[in-house]
Amino acid sequence: MSATGSFHEGVHLVSGDVGCGKSTLALIMAGFFTLSEGTIERKGIKSCILSLQFPELSVTGLTVAEECASWGVDTDKILDSTGLHGRENESPLSLSRGELKRLHLACVLDQEYDLLLLDEPFSSLDCREKARLCDRIGYKKGDGITIIFTHEQNILPRVDRIWEISGQALVDCGRPPDAFFRWRHVPPVIIRLIASGQTPDNLSLDDLREAECRIHG
């Protein structure tokens, strides 16, 4: 895969087919892979967090409480926000995958960072939790660079720029809504809204619902 581009402050979305190299690109950006050629310059990036696609691979604590402690976060606050009070002594690996993802993301998003790399953050989350994650990402906006690598099609946050990996190369599709007309992986719901004459301003559920309301007057 080849990639050229500049990721500025804000929220970026990277899409692509299964096996196209999204996770590899996330690992490269996090500094875990050595490039065969080229360079990555991280201007002003003092702290970087990578949230792995599979939350079970990030677990280091034997209990939910230990897992929270390993991230250096306020355990009570995380248990409150994830609805896991009463389960602090359970193994993180005994949680459902959605619950584990929720715990993992709550710990990640409680950190301070300049660069946040989220690999498939929506996988396993139920629709309500996906929407909450979008709100949280929006709330954290302005705190640096957030790059979301995802297949999610329906529940996404407002983003500043859309990218895709196509033909083994990273392609900059631009800013929404103009990007929708260049984006090969544009979600079917947006295709249908555009076909109905209503282009949403951005990717969020509010944007999609606002466009849907315009169809119905």
| 138 in Cβ contact with 157 (< 8 Å) | yes
Task: Give the pair of three-digit tokens for residue 29.
Answer: 């950006």
Residues 19-38 within binding reach of other proteins (CB under 8 A): 19, 22-23
Task: Pick from 66, 90, 114, 126 the residue near other proteins by CB under 8 A.
Answer: 126
d(CA 75, CA 68): 6
51 makes contact with other proteins (CB under 8 A): no
Binding residues for other proteins, rule CB under 8 A, total 46
User: Which DSSP state fits 142?
Assistant: T
User: Which DSSP state fits 34?
Assistant: -
d(CA 42, CA 49): 13
Site string for other proteins, 174-203 (x = CB under 8 A): -----------x-xxx--xx--x-------
| 66 in Cβ contact with 107 (< 8 Å) | no
54 makes contact with other proteins (CB under 8 A): yes
Residue closer to other proteins (CB basis): 15 or 51: 15
Residue closer to other proteins (CB basis): 114 or 212: 212
* Of residues 59, 7, 56, the one with CA closest to residue 170: 7
Question: Could you list the residues that contact other proteins (CB under 8 A)?
Answer: 15-19, 22-23, 53-54, 56, 83, 95-99, 101-102, 120, 122-131, 151, 153-155, 185, 187-189, 192-193, 196, 205, 208-209, 212, 215-216
